[in-house]
Structure 1
Amino acid sequence: MKKILLSSCFSLYCLFAVQIDAKAQYVLKDADKQYELYNYAKAVDLYEQAYKKKESLHAAERLAAAYAYMNDYKQAESWYAIASKMSGSKPENILGYAKALQSNSKYSEAKVQYQAYIDQKKDVTERQKDVWLSSCDSAVRWMKNPKKVELINEKALNSTQSDWGATTYQGGVVFTSDRTNTGFESKESSPFLKFDGAKTPDKKIYGWTGNGYLKLYIKPSPKDSLALFPIKTGTKYHVGSATFTADGNTMYFTMTPIPDDLEKVKNKPSTVNVEIYSSTKGADGKWGEPVAFPYNDVNKYSVGDPFISTSGTSLYFASNMPGGKGGTDIYVSLKTDAGEWGKPINLEEINTTGNERSPVFDANNNLFFASDGYVGMGGLDVFRALRDGAGIGKIENMGYPFNSPQDDFGFSLNEKGGIAYLSSNRNNGLGNDDIYSIDQKMIIAFKLEGTVFDKKTNQPIPNALVTLAKVNGGTVKTEADEDGNYKFNLAAETEYNVIGEKTNYRSDSENLATIGLKTSEVLKQDLHLEPVEINKAIRLENIYYDFDKWNIRPDAAVELDKLVKIMLDNPTIWIELGSHTDSRGKDAYNLSLSQKRAESAVQYIISRGVNKNRITAKGYGETQLLNKCANNVQCSDAEHQLNRRTEFKIVKQ
């Protein structure tokens, strides 16, 4: 009889496992479809659900790549770390891990992973090796010796979505944004599009980001409200990245109309590339119908990031047209005597095998541009190419904090030739890409010094990442030295948060201020990071429930909020929240009650802003007692209380 019972239990277990696997495969198939249509925001949710049901290399790789495409580098780092260690993983996952670490300012760790990839891939060119490894070394040096400037987030322009490409125009600012729910009404109901070729894409939401499509906005003066830029484009999709002639009467901008002759194949993604158009203001002050740049080719390549010279006779732009040196190159088209645009010329002195974009010239004809093909901090960096006679001389990286580990691009210059506005998706912004202005009058009043320690061993942590965030202001970062020491410059009358991070540790943060300090002094602030221990149960104290109830009491909410903070401060960790009872009462009842309590706690945490995929409820009933107090064993109330507990385990970091 026992053999039959065991056999039946085993059969039920196998059936349950098969059902879970089938569900995981179904979700995975749906996730793949969204991923292949470039709907990354939808794909990551489905891949995470599939991974929770059944861990797989495919799901981990796709999550890493999708998060990287969405510029969520912390999540990309976490998933590439997982994927690179799984059985059957390819060297490309190590490269992805290195790039994600670099994007998160973890340069010493990134260098180790770049070297690991180079060791496995013998075909990496010497130039590429030098760019990767030298970039890590240079970035650490630049962060420890920052330029005396401050980047100011232009909150009057920025939203929680993507805002970039600000340029001055007749006393105001014109910029590009994919914000949604603006309240603006347009008669048109308003990079490239990828979508199911059998049908046109959603006219409100761009699947790649989950945000709206790019549009041009204008803020005519500091006192005026934002408004849609008054041009009729005839497209419901992307419009953006504008440049104006010196007299302000002609503009060049990018646009993605859906062409009638676009080849559409069912269940295959179609591509609509970016194009450049121009428009001229009429005598009535209204912008005319857009005119296509003659070298657009919507089915073959993109043409974007236009910049018109002061004379109006040179149009610079970025394109991935055939014949270039890399991904996107910078080109110039010269206006002929007949008033037509000549064939694009590749700026070979500037372009690399990487990507160059955002060309802008100052009054001295020096070129500012963005590139990921030179030694830099990561992503696109801002460079300046100094004019040398008729050619290009020295090309220099603008350093930190002009540049960051993320993409820094889409800038414009002031009348003195300095950078007026800069676009960046660096951390701690309001949205994805944000617009920043440059304050070059930063006054250093105080210094901050400290050491980053392991909270468990009290030993210094070498090369930890430390971030100094001004309250309601910008951030700067540095990497601690081999002894865990770090330092920053501080401004007077300012509040700051200082945050320490390191792979395999939970972050730590402290508050400090220079408000009221009269004499120059060195402030001290150490940080203590707690090691992450996977699947180690951590007890949450003071989580109590009323008898036979599972609703969250106010006193329990206070304790659960502490866990919410841990999860929000460490956005890549996943946890299992477990609820345990003592042995009094029936086993089945206790198991059911504990599950309800765990689910109630999880729902509370989700309601506080934690993604549902990151937390799982598990009721253990009386199956994991901490002492001898099992069924029919006499124990005191205190001994039973030890078993009644709520715990959490970190199951993924």
Structure 2
Amino acid sequence: MQTSLISPSSFCQWALMFMMTMVVCSCGFTKEIKNGEAAYEQKKYALAADMLKDEYKKQPNKRKAAKLSYLLGSSYEILNEIQRSIRWYEKAVRAEYGEQADRGLARVHKQSGNYAAALDIWKVLSKVHTQDQMIKREIEILKLAAEWDRDRQNTTKIFALDGNSLFNDYISAVYEGNYLVFTSDRKDATGSDDYKWTGNKYSDLFIMDKEGRGVRRFDAEINSNFNEGAACFTQDFNKIIFTRCSGTETADSYCKLMYAKKKDGLWTEPQVINFVVDNINYGQPALIENDSVMVFCTKGPDGPGGYDLYYSELVGDDEWSSPYLMPRSINTAGNEYFPTSCRDTLYFSSDYHPGLGGLDIFKTYLKDDGSWSAPVNVRQPINSSYDDFGLVIDEYARLRRKEIEKGFFSTSRGTNGRDNIYSFTKYQLEEIQKDTVPKEDAKDELAIYLAGKVITHRYDDDEDPNSAVTGLETLSDARVEFSGDLTLDRRSGKDGLFIEKLDNGKAYRIKASKPGYLSKTIKVSTRELNLNPDEKSYTINVEIKLDKIFYDKEIILKEIYYDYNKWAIVDAAKPTLDRLSTILRDNPQIRIQLSSHTDCRGEDDYNAELSQKRAQSAVLYLVDRGIPFDRLQAQGYGESQIAFQDCECEYCTEAQHEINRRTTFKILR
């Protein structure tokens, strides 16, 4: 599967082909390509592979040839040509290119279904990196995948559709009950240019019947010379939401969510969904809750990892709310793609939740309390060691005796790693297994993992803690200490990640720290997890956000207010001060000054006295919460440090006065 928000195999290879249409990638078009490595760096992997092979044949230097082998292995891995990737990674390993080649070879062995070979490599690496929790987790997942492969139940039959081509084809939706709308970069797609990532045509939406017959382009108003894909429809089929990835010769490609309506049997010109912003990739929409909620994929600043699932609510005629992040039980430190739905069940694909290989399909459902259940792997034969995604339940299917469900999904298990569309039929368990021999009962222990990420805010002004937060960034090499039912001391790895295996029925305290940042402690419990008895593993995803230390700079406590002419702490201010007391307990080495400011109205002496009493009240509140008095300093400034100075006092608005009335704290050196 190629991963671009169009399709999983191409994501800028389309950043997984648009995600499948998200070309969540930013692929530039203007740089001159002098060699295979330059083509690789510009994400033109099909071109890179051709150039690198020629360069490899002519390269006499063994070290340089090893690097070319590694780049070829990586290019074919991204292009999803797994067997070719294995051959070139093996050459790089034999040439002793380095650990990157070993890790790459382990990944593609896993994706080819050779779990034993992948396991052997990771076991060797684990002896070198004894504390690397990522490697330990991969070893456990490979053992689980091998077990699933042995214990598969033959209750589902799958078939490749006749409408598949020699190129990438993947399912989008059932259309008007009798048809399938799908994405393809086959030769008869619109336009004359090839997509440099894959070497194929730019993708279009196509339509065929559910047997794979009568393939044709979907609609000329929807398809363009750019990449289109990953579409969904409203229940009446009169509106389409789809992904389009476009750019210019001088600008990068980004994927946007588009919509169009059917009027008098014709589709209107597509428009961009209102919450879409420039320079961010969006894709793979799905409609749930009677078309009132859209779930889609993007890489937002508040997400826990790569691409995550978000949702938006319909708030007016073709108007959608700002996106909200789906819960951490669904989103992970990896990538989540291709949401689809059937009644109260949400299906999606992930490359991080424990699975069989590349992307695996998972299902979750909305519980009575409004929360989502723990995702469950749908297992073989729908999932495989390759990329599997875009599961669509055919609610219009006519079910014969013993059939309980029909549908379609997409997979890269086809020729040369290309994405193909398969149909599936599920049967009643007892009918399909009546001649099988029951196995001895085995009590398999559930493996529970904590997958964490240490992050921090990114500010518009790096030197101003009160400036706008523009996003999040990860913190590597942060110290992560476990206490409670487990005592451990770890370091966050690349991208701020850490993983630890936990015991069921336990409670943990986890403290993250890093020089230059305020430490933070969170609590994690495995005592009341909503576990599925059919699953062998469960992952808890957490983020620990560390705030950067700004010495001697006032930080505004925005939710601390006082009654007029009073200094007592009101109930509305207590949660903010409680959070401040937690920070102080997690960071016993710091001292702070609490300051209070008034607006310009009133006498100077009176305002100075009032502000000092207010600051002192805040200090005493923290002392009552167990913070030593000698770590706190109260300072009332009255009206001597007006924050908003662009008006004469008698002409300031109430909003401007409110800016000046503030309580702050600063960390003292």
TM-score interval (norm. to shorter): 0.5 to 0.7
Q: What residue is the counterpart of 1:295 in the other structure?
A: 275
1:280 paired with 2:261, answer: yes
Tell me if structure 1 keeps the 8 A contact 2:163–2:212: no
1:177 to 178, 184, 209: 184
1:38 pairs with 2:43: yes
- How far does residue 430 in structure 1 lie from its aligned partner after superposition? 8.4
Matches within 5 A, 1:106-117: 106-117=114-125
Name the counterpart of 2:298.
Answer: 319
Cα distance, 1:414 vs structure 2: 2.3
Return the match for 2:138 from 132, 139, 144.
Answer: 132
Question: For residue 418 of structure 2, what is the aligned residue in structure 1?
Answer: 432
Superposition pairs of residues 336-347 of structure 1, within 5 angstroms = 336=315, 340-347=319-326
Q: State the Cα deviation string for residues 445-479 of structure 1 (Å, max 9, x = none).
A: 999xxxxxxxxxxxxxxxxxxxxxxxxxxxxxxxx
Identity, in percent, stands at: 27
> Does structure 1 conserve the Cα–Cα contact (< 8 Å) formed by 2:392 and 2:408?
yes
Would you say 1:51 and 2:51 are equivalent positions?
no
Counterparts of 1:393 and 1:408 in 2: how far apart (Å)?
Answer: 21
Question: What SS class does the counterpart of residue 143 from structure 1 fall into?
Answer: helix
> Are 2:162 and 2:213, in contact at CA under 8 Å, matched by a contact in 1?
no
Residue 83 in structure 1 maps to residue 95 in structure 2: no
Mapped to 2, the partners of 1:280 and 1:356 lie a distance apart of 28
Amino acid paired to 2:300: M
CA contact (8 A) 2:163 2:213 kept: no
Cα separation, 2, equivalents of 1:151 and 1:70: 28
* RMSD between aligned residues: 2.7
CA offset digits 1:217-260 (Å, max 9, x no partner): 0125659621111141473110111100001100100001326x
After TM superposition, list the pairs within 5 Å mapping 1:250-265 onto structure 2. 250-258=239-247, 264=250
Tell me by how many angstroms 1:357 deviates: 1.0
Q: CA deviation at 1:432?
A: 0.4
Q: 1:359 aligns with which of 321, 329, 339?
A: 339
1:94 pairs with 2:127:
no
Map residues 397-436 of structure 1 onto 2, 5 A cutoff.
397-415=377-395, 418=405, 420-426=407-413, 428-429=414-415, 432-436=418-422
Provide, for residues 533-592 of structure 1, a one-character-per-residue CA deviation record: whole Å limited to 9, x for no partner. xxxxxxxxxxxxxxxxxxxxxxxxxxxxxxxxxxxxxxxxxxxxxxxxxxxxxxxxxxxx
1:592-631 to structure 2, matched below 5 A, reads none
In the TM superposition, what is the alpha-carbon distance from 1:372 to its structure 2 partner?
Answer: 0.8
The answer to whether the Cα contact below 8 Å between 1:302 and 1:321 also exists between their aligned partners in 2 is: no
CA deviation vs aligned residue, 1:6-64 (integer Å, no higher than 9, x gap):
xxxxxxxxxxxxxxxxxxxxxx9522232233222222222222222224122111111
Bigger mean CA deviation after superposition, 146-155 or 379-388: 146-155
User: Cα gap change, 1:122/1:303 in structure 2, threshold over 3 Å: closer, same or farther?
Assistant: farther
Q: Any idea what SS the aligned residue of 2:320 has?
A: coil
Verify: 1:249 aligned to 2:235, yes or no: no
Q: CA deviation at 1:328?
A: 0.6
Cα offset for 1:150? Answer: 4.5
2:158 maps to 1:152? yes
Structure 2: which amino acid aligns with 1:304? G
Sort the Cα spacing of 1:445 and 1:31 in 2 relative to 1 into closer, same or farther, 3 A. Answer: farther
SS where residue 379 of structure 1 aligns?
coil
Aligned residue runs from structure 1 range 327-476, under 5 A: 327-336=306-315, 340-348=319-327, 349-363=329-343, 365-389=344-368, 390-415=370-395, 418=405, 420-426=407-413, 428-429=414-415, 432-441=418-427
Shift of 1:322: 2.1
User: What CA distance in whole angstroms lies between the structure 1 residues aligned with 2:295 and 2:184?
Assistant: 22
In structure 1, stretches of 5+ residues that fail to align are: 1-27, 191-202, 265-269, 448-653
User: 3-state DSSP class of the match of 2:389?
Assistant: strand
Q: Relative to structure 1, is the Cα distance of residues 220 and 440 closer, same or farther in structure 2, using a 3 angstrom cutoff?
A: closer
Contact 1:317/1:332, CA 8 A, preserved across alignment: yes
- Distance between the aligned counterparts of 1:223 and 1:367, measured in 2? 25
Q: Which residue of 1 aligns with 2:558?
A: none
Q: Residue type matched to 1:384 in 2?
A: K
Conserved in 2, the CA contact under 8 Å of 1:176 and 1:215? Answer: yes
Whether 1:226 aligns to 2:215 is yes
Displacement of 1:135 after TM fit?
Answer: 1.8
Greater shift after overlay, 411-420 or 109-118?
A: 411-420
State how far apart, in whole Å, the 1-side matches of 2:356 and 2:119 are. 12
TM-score normalised by structure 1 residue count: 0.56
Partners of 1:405 and 1:33 in 2: CA distance: 31
* 2-structure distance, mates of 1:431, 1:134: 26
Structure 1 pair 42–376 and aligned structure 2 pair: CA distance change class (3 A): same
| Change beyond 3 A, Cα 1:43–1:225 | same
For 2:345, the aligned partner's letter is: N
2:453 alignment partner in structure 1: none
Counterpart amino acid of residue 393 in structure 1:
S
The CA distance in 2 between the partners of 1:355 and 1:425, in whole Å, is 17
| 3-state SS of paired residue (2:304) | coil
Deviations 1:586-612 (A, max 9, x none): xxxxxxxxxxxxxxxxxxxxxxxxxxx
**Does the CA contact (< 8 Å) of 2:205 and 2:223 recur in 1?**
no
CA distance in 2, matches of 1:99, 1:75: 13
- Aligned amino acid, residue 180 of structure 2: V
Distance in structure 2 (CA, Å) of the matches to 1:122 and 1:318: 35
Deviates more, 1:166-175 or 1:243-252: 166-175
Contact 1:314 1:332 in 2 (8 A): yes
Q: Are the equivalent residues in 1 in contact too, given 2:126–2:136 (CA < 8 A)?
A: no
What secondary structure does 2:315 align onto?
coil
* 1:138 CA drift (Å): 1.4
How far 1:91 sits from its partner (Å)?
2.0
Letter in 1 for 2:407: A
Q: CA distance change for structure 1 residues 387 and 418 in 2, over 3 Å: closer, same or farther?
A: farther
Alignment-derived partner of residue 592 in structure 1? none
Taking structure 1 as reference, are residues 142 and 224 closer, same or farther at Cα in structure 2, changes over 3 Å only? closer
Q: Alignment partner of 1:43: what SS?
A: helix
Which residue identity does 2:274 align to in structure 1?
Answer: P
- Secondary structure in structure 1 of the residue aligned to 2:362: strand
Q: Distance in 2 between matches of 1:108 and 1:211?
A: 34
Matches within 5 A, 1:177-216: 177-180=184-187, 182=188, 189-190=190-191, 203-216=192-205
In structure 2, how many angstroms separate the alpha carbons of the residues matched to 1:177 and 1:338? 31
Asked if the contact 1:274–1:298 (Cα under 8 Å) also holds between the matched residues in 2, the reply is no
Aligned residue in 1 for 2:10: none
Distance, in Å, in 2 between the alignment partners of 1:432 and 1:323 is 32
Q: Which amino acid aligns with 1:174?
A: V
SS in 2 for 1:336: strand
1:245–1:310 contact (8 Å) kept in structure 2: no
Aligned partners of 1:222, 1:422: CA distance in 2, in Å?
14
Out of 78, 95, 108, the position equivalent to 1:69 is: 78
